[in-house]
Chains A and B, each alone.
Chain A
Amino acid sequence: MKDSALRRRIFADRAFQVVVVFLSFCSILPMFFILFFISKNGITSINWNFLTKLPAPVGETGGGISNAILGSALLIVLASIIAVPLGILTGIYLSEYRKGKFAYLSRLSVEILMGIPSIVIGIIAYVWVVKPFGSFSAVSGGVALGIMMLPVIVMSTEETLKLIPDTLKEASLALGVSYPRTILKVILPAGLSGIVTGMLLAVARIAGETAPLLFTAFGSPFMALSLFKPVSALPLTVFNYATSPYPEWHALAWGASFVLLVFVLALNLLAKVGMRKWKVQF
């Protein structure tokens, strides 16, 4: 009797293990399919011209996505200029003042901002920036993406700084170091790896965003030369080319997807490696 109960237990244990492993396998399967599929279709369009040339008009072969690559880079820089300083400062505030009504309100706002659909943020940027300026522009796209980046950076900064032991702050203050210097020169450097990782992940998050760019950056077949003119971006290019009726453009869309995928993947890997390599040991 005892023996069979034990055997049943061991069996249940094994069965559970098998189920868990199988389901985990199933959940990572789609990622491999996506990687495989996009690589297979996209890699053939990748060549020097594809990365450096402007798009060709319909009917002509060749042409590239250099405008989209540059546009995406420009939008990411603009968004980072807005979101990184603001996000890090807010993160410092939230980790330093954990109690208090305003901190609670700020934290709540950041969490809500995180959950706002990207298309809504696009509309907001349209109303705030595109309309007053009277034109789709790189700036408006940067604003939209910056708003999307902000909560990620705030949260990662706050979480990172919260993990830094208070004793470190006390060590600095006990040396007669002022509070602002303590934050800037002791606390921030100690949390740098986490903050940089958060920034990389935030960039990865916005790099693939299409919806907020539809009525802000808008897209353009030309090289971005002005902050106040429409610019292209990789996800916009994918969207426009993939929904077009021309097979050559479909190939370009695959190629652009592949470039985007590699970029985002690289950011994620860099964040992973960086987290480990620059980790500060307390």
Chain B
Amino acid sequence: MEGPVLKIEHFSAGFDSNQVLKDINLSIFRNKITAVMGPSGCGKTTLIRCINRMHELIANARVSGKILLDNEDVFDIDPIIVRRKIGMVFQRPNPFPTMSIYDNVIAGYNLNGIRVAKVDRDRIVEESLKKAALWDEVKDVLHRKGTFLSGGQQQRLCIARALAMDPEIILLDEPTSALDPKSTTHIEELVVHLKNTVTIIQVTHNIPQAARISDYTAFIYLGELVEFGPTEKLFTVPKDKRTEEYLTGKFG
């Protein structure tokens, strides 16, 4: 089996005196979906925000340990480069309100000042929207504002925007928490489909969702990685008592 694409080693993070994550060790495998689950406030969002170095944007943030992307520590790479290799989709859909659907998808290039020929631009937009399963719904309204779309469509637009940069990994921070059940199903199907082209790390506090879509699951509780393993195993024969209690709804 191929080595992990991302390795998190002895990683801790927090704000000033407030320790959020303690000594996390975790491997993320290529073209797999890894679910990071745990109760609210356990540090799962902080963890993935460290992976693309968004965590450090908050004042007083601090980190220690390593996060290796293809054996290179992300903290040694310019955050701008890291973020182009590791895309992110947020809890609430956040398309750029001033831009059309088309411009939203290509925004990663336009905003970075990367020049792309018109033909290639059209191709990137079409491919990304197709990958995000949004093309058929928007192909005739590409020049309308992205904010006119429904919540679920907006979230898929944000996924297309991240995919357009051709990242190695996409971080999904509870991408369905602000959506209705139908849009949620849609996004889940899309995520499962996407793993053929990209590695996915998805934060969720929805236990069934983690079971449905992920190949690996990490359970984080109070800033500690309690258990990590193939989803099937973790859900059927959890090694740690806390995992079992969380899965059976004793807390969380």
Contacts and interface: CB of A to CB of B under 8 A. Distances in A.
Given A168-B97, A181-B112, A185-B111, A174 B88 contact: yes
Contacts, number: 77
B61 interface: no
A176 B80 contact: yes
A170 B97 contact: no
Interface string A184-204: 011001101000000000000
B165 A282 contact: no
Nearest to A165: B94
A176 B108 contact: yes
Interface in B150-206: 158, 161-162, 165
Interface residues of B, number: 30
A181 B111 contact: yes
Interface size class of A (residues with CB under 8 A): 20 to 34
Interface in B76-122: 80-84, 87-88, 90, 92, 94-98, 107-108, 110-113
A99 B97 CA distance: 27
A184 B145 CA distance: 20
Contacts of A99: 59
A108 B119 CA distance: 52
Contacts of B1: none
B57 interface: yes
Contact of B161 (A173, A175, A181): A175
A132 to B, nearest CB: 43
Contacts of B94: 165, 167-168, 170-171
B124 to A, nearest CB: 13
B96 A171 contact: yes
Interface string B40-63: 000000000000101001010000
A52 to B, nearest CB: 41
A220 interface: no
Given A176-B108, A176-B165, A181-B113, A280 B158 contact: no
Contacts of A165: 94
B57 A173 contact: yes
Contact of B107 (A167, A173, A175, A282): A175
B97 A176 contact: no
Given A171-B158, A282-B147, A190 B112 contact: no
21 contacts: A165-B94, A167-B90, A167-B92, A168-B97, A171-B95, A171-B96, A172-B96, A172-B107, A174-B52, A174-B87, A174-B162, A175-B83, A175-B107, A176-B81, A176-B112, A178-B80, A186-B98, A190-B98, A280-B98, A281-B145, A282-B147
